[in-house]
Structure 1
Amino acid sequence: MSQKTVYIVGLGLIGSSLALGIRRDHPDYRILGYNRSRKSRDIALEKGFVDEATDRFALFASQADVIILAVPIEQTIDFIKELAQIPLKSTVLVTDAGSTKLAICQAADAYLKPAGINFIGGHPMAGSHKSGAIAADVNLFENAYYIFTKTAATKMDALPRLTDLLSGLHARFIEIDPQEHDRVTSQVSHFPHVLASSLMNQAGDYAFEHPFTNNFAAGGFRDMTRIAESEPGMWTSILMTNPDAVLERISEFQSRLNEIADAIRLRNSEHIWNFFDKGRQTRKEMEIHKRAGVDSFYDIYINVPDQEDVILEILELLRGISVVNIRINEENREDIAGILQITFKTREDLDRAFQVIRDHTPYQVTIT
């Protein structure tokens, strides 16, 4: 591919990380950026994610060979409508990074296809608890699924052009129907966020009468509700553009809760055992422990004593290994001072850390 101009619309975590991935394999490409807030524009320029940046969406559109819309879903649809009115290059390719696909693809068919503009939907299934250009990570999408959804506006060259452009992400590219995408993600992404926030809201209300709820919420509860910290605006947008699939998942889940409630009420131990065993076996068979989905991180837990410099000692051992997050869980065990939780992005980093800590410290180490 000769030198191209890529216009990344939205310089948050996803857009800025896409820019880094494109730079890795195509250092000669010209990358332009749009962002409404000045802070992310300044960071993207200072760190070299983009060559130029603007807060006027239409300014760079006509210069671009590829336009990537990495903004919230409703804004993506608004920009698709606007692009249909802008004199773009005849060979321009437009894509997006939205978490729901049907509404965006329908907008592309309604507005871009009549204008002869090439479009293919995109969804990089990776994320982080961090946000903004400051959190950009060239390895964010490594081994994660990057989903493409063709529409009536998609021309034959769209997929090979885009996979070449995004080769530096080191992602796993896959094509799927937009409606099927929304059905699948409603089960494994959208509904779990509803469930996590429901659990947190329930626990928060319960804690008013039972304050120790806040102290004892460890282990499984922590892992199940981590995603409840996600940005509310984004998830409101996702549910508003995928309502039918999410409502169907909620209804089906309610029937499962009713079923296990009946088994508990009837003291049907065999049914309860099968309920847990099926869940256990199903989880073992899924790709949950592979880097193939949103926030697919790996955690290590270290029982640490209450001694000076213990944490610094462990971090020094991990020098050269990429760490995503560090957390001290210290209010939920009576027999030890604390549990140090360290999160890694890849299984390789996790395994290296486990080996180093086990070989050079006397502390108990557990991995997930």
Structure 2
Amino acid sequence: MSKTIYIAGLGLIGASIALGIRRDHPEYRLLGYNRSQESRIIALEAGMIDAATDCFEKFAAEADVIILCLPIKQTIQFIKKLATLDLKEQVLVTDAGSTKAEIVAAADTYLAPKNVNFIGGHPMAGSHKTGAAAADVHLFENAYYIFTPSLATKKDAIARMTDLLSGLRARFIEISAQDHDRITSQVSHFPHVLASSLMNQAGAYVSDYPLTNNFAAGGFRDMTRIAESEPGMWTSILLSNRESILERMQEFQARLDQVAHMIQAGDEEAIWQFFEAGRQTRKAMEIHKRAGVDSFYDLFITVPDQEDIILAILEILRGISVVNIRINEENREDIHGILQITFKNKRDQQEAFRRLEEKTSYSISIE
């Protein structure tokens, strides 16, 4: 049976969700709201949606499901607006916000009294790219898609959402809004604070030691990649999850103080244990397992340091979606480097491995 799905916000997340719904439910009617005309035009021309508007209220009454893919403050504003509109009796409302407690509280305050079915949502995937032009049907594959039920959530909400979003190929999980915000404060929100702090520190250090910019490769690059994220979004996240993030910062400061004491005391054993504990903890995390939060699939290729070698490899991989590519050990003295190519799913990784084994003599490994 055909249904009408209304996606408010046609940025990377909203447009990618639309593509996922299209993949498994081509018979569904998809409507979109976006303030920017550019993303509306892109989404329409690409067939992501069937109709678009810059007036949120226009399609709300037609929808069986409404998905709010908007900044946190705007999501809360739209939840308040939905409580004033004449919606379908069985309408299901959800969101895609990076923090959940404030959004769920708004739903409980404004939608629950209206008997509107609401469930919080957070697809834990993203990209440095933005807008509908960056939409990717593979964006959520193997990533966690979190649902946070509340007082406004009816029994059918999760089943309806997992069916609707089956084309995302995500891993659906249910936790409380409070637990969501505590966990993401540790593994997502606080790391962004750290990354930007490291960049700001390094930026100040450059005035005294200009070569800092030249030597900032390897581990520093990996640790600070997320500092390039959009500032407005992260300002909103920090302010909507203050308590948990401040707790993480205070606890981390205590850990830094402990390490400082170890160094001051010259305690070699304690320092070794510090690094060993971190190493073992990371090895035990899902970072090294498939279908973790960032479920990427890597190929490592030993390549000679020759002009156009990367272009030649990418030509062999033409038609396969590549998430990331980089050369490890950039400050090397030998003639070979390790080219790391990242794929979103196992199928692409294995096809790339097959092609490269067939068409090159390079040493290739899978991790």
TM-score category, normalised to shorter length: over 0.9
CA–CA distance in 1 between the matches of 2:341 and 2:352? 9
State the match for 1:132 in structure 2: 131
Unaligned runs of 5+ residues in structure 1 are none
Question: 2:147 aligned with 1:148, yes or no?
Answer: yes
1:256 paired with 2:255, answer yes
Whether the 8 Å CA contact 1:97–1:122 is kept in 2: the answer is: yes
Equivalent residue number for residue 187 of structure 1:
186
Gaps of 5+ in 2: none
Partner of 1:240: 239
Structure 1 residues 209 and 299, CA gap change in structure 2 (3 angstroms): farther
Residue-by-residue CA offset, 1:252-301 (whole Å, 9 max, x unaligned): 00111111111111111111111111111111111013354555434445
Equivalent in the alignment of 1:111: 110
Helix, strand or coil at the partner of 2:288: coil
Structure 1 position 35, deviation (Å): 0.6
Residue 209 in structure 1 maps to residue 208 in structure 2: yes
User: How is 1:51-62 mapped onto 2 (pairs within 5 angstroms)?
Assistant: 51-62=50-61
CA distance in 1, matches of 2:333, 2:206: 21
Following the alignment from structure 2 to structure 1, what is the Cα–Cα distance between the partners of residues 239 and 365? 40
Q: CA deviation at 1:128?
A: 1.3
Give the secondary structure class of the aligned counterpart of 1:257. Answer: helix
Q: Distance in 2 between matches of 1:125 and 1:193?
A: 15
Aligned to 1:32: 31
For the pair 1:168 / 2:167, whether they are aligned, the reply is yes
What SS does structure 2 have at the residue aligned with 1:32?
Answer: strand
- 8 Å contact 1:120–1:153 — kept in the other structure? yes
SS at match of 1:28: coil
Cα deviation, 1:54-103, whole Å, max 9, x if unaligned, reads: 11111100110000000110100000000001111111000000010000
Q: Secondary structure at the match of 1:323?
A: coil
Cα distance, 1:254–1:41 mapped onto 2, change above 3 Å: same
Secondary structure at 1:209 match in 2: coil
- Cα distance in 2 for partners of 1:292, 1:59 equals 38
Q: Check conservation: 1:71, 1:97, Cα contact below 8 A.
A: yes
Is residue 2:122 matched to residue 1:123?
A: yes
Matches within 5 A, 1:291-310: 291-292=290-291, 295-300=294-299, 302=301, 304-305=303-304, 307-310=306-309
Amino acid at match of 1:196: A
Supply the distance in 2 between the matched residues of 1:329 and 1:38 (Cα, whole angstroms).
Answer: 41
Report how far residue 122 of structure 1 moved: 0.4
Query: Separation in 2 of the partners of 1:313 and 1:37?
Result: 39
Number of the residue aligned with 1:8:
7
| Compared CA separation, residues 54 and 31, structure 1 to 2 (3 A) | same
After superposition, the CA RMSD in angstroms is 2.1
Q: Number of paired residues?
A: 367
**Distance in 2, Cα, partners of 1:352 & 1:254:** 45
Deviation of 1:337 after TM superposition, in Å, equals: 8.3
What is the distance in 1 between the residues matched to 2:221 and 2:297?
14
TM-score between the two structures when normalised by the length of structure 2 = 0.94
Relative to structure 2, which stretch is displaced further, 122-131 or 67-76? 122-131
| Larger mean Cα displacement after TM superposition, 135-144 or 96-105 | 135-144
Aligned to 1:101: 100
What one-letter code is carried by the residue in structure 1 that aligns with 2:229? S
Is the 1:33–1:52 Cα contact (8 Å) retained in structure 2? yes
Confirm or deny: 8 A CA contact 1:215 1:331 kept in the other structure.
no
- How far does the alpha carbon of each residue in 1:106-146 deviate from its partner, in whole angstroms, 9 at most, with x for none? 00001111111110000011111211111111111111111
Q: Percent identity?
A: 71
The 1-side partners of 2:41 and 2:311 are apart by: 33
What is the TM-score normalised by the length of structure 1? 0.93
Paired residues of 2:29 and 2:50 also in contact (CA < 8 A): yes
Distance 1:9 1:232, change over 3 A: same
Q: Which amino acid aligns with 1:182?
A: D
Aligned-partner Cα distance in 1 for 2:289–2:134: 23
